[in-house]
Amino acid sequence: MPYKEKQIEKRYYTIGEVADDLGVATSLIRFWETEFDIISPKKNRKGNRQFTIDDIKKIKLIYHLVKVKGYTLHGARDFIKSDVSAATDKIEMIESLKGIRQFLSQLKDGLQKN
């Protein structure tokens, strides 16, 4: 049985990494942190924010509601308060479907070249 490497996953991400992943400014994430109580990253001794995967999922939910769906901050807050777990599940499903769509497009392009 061949040795299979275990994927190493980071525990904490910087605000810069999170901002780059979403394509937004770090100031927007800091602003959302003040506006949405579901975002509460840990801070190290220097005061730098340390985001977990769970924090990033919540930020992606806010991003989707505000930037993609066009919710106001108040509307997004109300939506999240109604059922944050259902909203997060919906966003994860959308992200998964986008990944499948991208894979299928690449597969289609590969088949057309042959």
The domain that holds 97 is classified in CATH as 1.10.1660.10
Q: Give the per-residue pLDDT at 10.
A: 80
Q: CA nearest 91: which of 112, 109, 64?
A: 64
Q: Is 8 part of a structural domain of the chain?
A: no
Instruction: Provide the strand spans (E) within the chain.
Output: 42-43, 49-50
CB-CB contact of 73 with 34 (8 Å): no
Q: Could you say which DSSP state residue 11 is in?
A: S
Residue 54 in tokens: 């769970």
Q: Are 70 and 59 in contact (CB under 8 A)?
A: no
Asked whether residue 7 is domain-assigned, the answer is: no
pLDDT, tens digit (0-9, with 9 covering 90-100), for 4-29: 555 667 889 999 999 999 999 999 99
Domain that holds residue 28: 15-113
The count of domains in the chain is 1
**Domain-located, residue 19:** yes
Count of alpha carbons within 13 angstroms of residue 3, beta-carbon side: 1
Q: Does residue 49 fall inside a structural domain?
A: yes
pTM, whole model, 2 decimals? 0.70
In a domain, 85, yes or no: yes
Domain presence at residue 9: no
